[in-house]
Amino acid sequence: MSSKQAEQLDALSLSIGHNFADPLLLRRALTHSSHAHEQAAEEKVRHDRGNEQMEFLGDAVLGLAVADWLFRHHAGDDEGRLTRLRAGLVSRRNLSRVAERLGLGENLRLGRGEELSGGRAKSALLADALEAIIGAVYLDAGFQAAVALVEREVVRDAGEQLSEIEDSKSELQEWIQARSSRGGKRAEYAVVSSDGPDHARCFTVELRWQGEVLARATAPTKKQAQQLCARQALELLRRREEQ
């Protein structure tokens, strides 16, 4: 590792708020598989898988850390709302936003193809790198250090983030209107079933747009089911845009 690369990792460690005992863990967390494959081909050695395994580990740590935080800070909420809030906080949108704030994009190690296709700004790569870094912190200093990172960055300004998560319907409609050339018609929500006794009824709602069913969700109220559908549809439509 060159002195310049070491300086860059030190600066990123400062941004993340964790001083790595083993800086190579951070370096690996920033290594996309495309870079690892190219390096292996050029040097004719067995390739490292890059940050994929760390991403897998970090995803598990992230999920537990966020669930624990919600349990402690939203103890009065029902399971359905806690599930929605967790989904929003660990969503690609929120994770990529955190990654951008930390400056991960400029520090990613990418293959030439990913570099040329704008990989440093792709929300999927940014979110994956953040999960990998959470995994790297876990390996470097244990679970509590990783939890501290998640609480410091992923649930930062949580009140504002949770408000956004709760109004996915408005967010989806704004997404549709911004792409009026592809059809500005409003999304339609239809109750397809209603089960259970009056005091414990569950509603299943489908979200349709341009003749396609984009999402289906079940919740104790129609409004909650619609919000769940809108969040699922946003995730789907954003993934499609990136492909």
- Three-class DSSP category at 200: helix
Could you give the CA distance from residue 86 to residue 234 in angstroms, rounded to a whole number?
A: 16
Q: Which of 131, 140, 153, 206 is catalytic?
A: 131
Other beta carbons within 10 angstroms of residue 57's beta carbon come to 18
Rg (CA), the chain: 20
With left for phi above 0 and alpha for psi between -120 and 50, is residue 50 left, alpha or beta? Answer: left
Q: Considering the candidates 38, 55, 59, 114, report the single residue annotated as catalytic.
A: 59
Structure tokens at 174: 């704004």
124-146 in b/e burial notation, b at 16+ Cβ within 10 A? ebbbbbbbbbbbbbbbbbeeeeb
Is 59 a residue of the active site? Answer: yes
DSSP structural state of residue 31: B
Q: Which residues are catalytic?
A: 59, 131
